[in-house]
Amino acid sequence: MASKNPGLFLCIVAALPLLISAATDYNEADAKTYLNFAAAAYGDSPLPCIQNVLPSKNQWQIVSQKTTVCDALTQLCSGYIVKSDVLRQIIVVFRGTKTDVQLILEGWSTLKPQQEYYGMGLVNSYFAKASDLLFDPVYQALADPQWKSYNVVFTGHSLGAALATLAAARTAAQGLRTSQQIKMYTFGEPRVGNVQFAASFNNLVPEAFRVIFRSDIVPHLPGCNKDYINGTDDDDSQPCNPRNLMRGYHHQMEIWYPDCMTPGCQYKICAGTPTGEDFACSDQLKFDMNNVSLYIWDHRHYFDLKVTTYGQIGCNASDPLVHDPQPEKSSFIQRLLFGVGEVASKFGIGVSKK
């Protein structure tokens, strides 16, 4: 049932000028740098990526690295922290999904935000558990007196993006850093919590950018509550409903690359309405189940790199393994694993009826 909470809606709208101002700070060169950090999390050690692609003059050092079991299928979640005394900066990185089984688990066990998260609203319990399991090293690094003045950047891809969001929000909420000391860049981030959490996050971490490539399906999971009253007709995609407290809803600021991510490709700063779910950006898409392979391919590729493989081989962009071709239409089995169109539509994912 949709919430009748005009105060929350007004809070979201009131925060919009601040968010638009922060969005002007999006820097594609920075995004590419942070993608290197996010990709490095897929390797056994982030050190090869750090040594291969980051300027040695910044003297990045690994502070900690932690891996732990994060779900009932004994899948592993992981993160690491690096610092640069030259830049006086700490980077907190979380690893994304490594297996298709875990991708399915994330998609279908996270249909509704149900867990209260440090007074900020409801979030997905799977994400919250994984984030809490990995937060101790983050707390220790940020509470260390010798690094107390260092700014911090959170980043991650896929599941790692969700964990980065929760860690950034918790860092601000618990006063480990001020909002002005925190920045976040994520890639292919799923919906982490409800609209109340999104509003809290927007106020706590205004300089946050959710980078989305083309038709990446994961940012549309779990499905939001669709606003059929203010939408068009049933055959078109519908905007997300910012008055519903029971379903997933994105925080700001989406940066959408609608066509490509090679040098010179255009992107959109998605500061329109609904706030956090700008219907002029990726939310307008409808998903044809015949093209599931392409949607997953888009999720795995950012800035023309297959993120998982790129990180696993030490961030060598010239290796042909990181530039695999786009797939053809999906097989029947792939469509079945993803979920048939009617089921996906029921849970708030725009599905083409072609």
Instruction: Classify each residue of 126-138 as buried b or exposed e, where b means 16 or more C-beta atoms within 10 Å of its C-beta.
Output: bbbebbbbbbebb
The active-site residue out of 78, 200, 216, 298 is 216
Residue 78 β-bridge partners? 67
Q: Are 154 and 80 in contact (CB under 8 A)?
A: no
Q: Is 216 a catalytic residue?
A: yes
**Cis before residue 274, ω within 30 degrees of 0?**
yes
Distance CA 11, CA 281 (A): 22
Chain centroid to Cα 35, Å, comes to 12
Contacting residues for 134 by C-beta, under 8 A, at least 6 apart: 66, 68, 77, 78, 79, 94, 163, 167
Q: Is 158 a catalytic residue?
A: yes
Q: Are 219 and 302 in contact (CB under 8 A)?
A: no
35: amino acid identity, one letter:
L
Question: What angle is formed at CA 180 by the lines to CA 174 and CA 184, rounded to 5 degrees?
Answer: 80
Residue 183 β-bridge partners? 153
The active-site residue out of 157, 250, 251, 299 is 299
Quote the strand ranges of 244-299, DSSP E. 254-257, 268-270
C-alpha distances out from residue 10 to 167, 199, 240, 273, 274, Å: 26, 10, 16, 13, 12
The active-site residue out of 78, 131, 158, 215 is 158
Q: What is the SS3 assignment for 209?
A: strand
Lookup: tokens for 140 = 């220790």
Instruction: Classify each residue of 260-287 as buried b or exposed e, where b means 16 or more C-beta atoms within 10 Å of its C-beta.
Output: ebeeeeebbbbbbebbbbbbebbbebbb
340: alpha, beta or left? (left if phi > 0; alpha if psi -120 to 50): beta
Q: Is 318 a catalytic residue?
A: no
Residue with tokens 């994400």, as numbered in its chain: 127
Active-site annotation, residues: 158, 216, 299
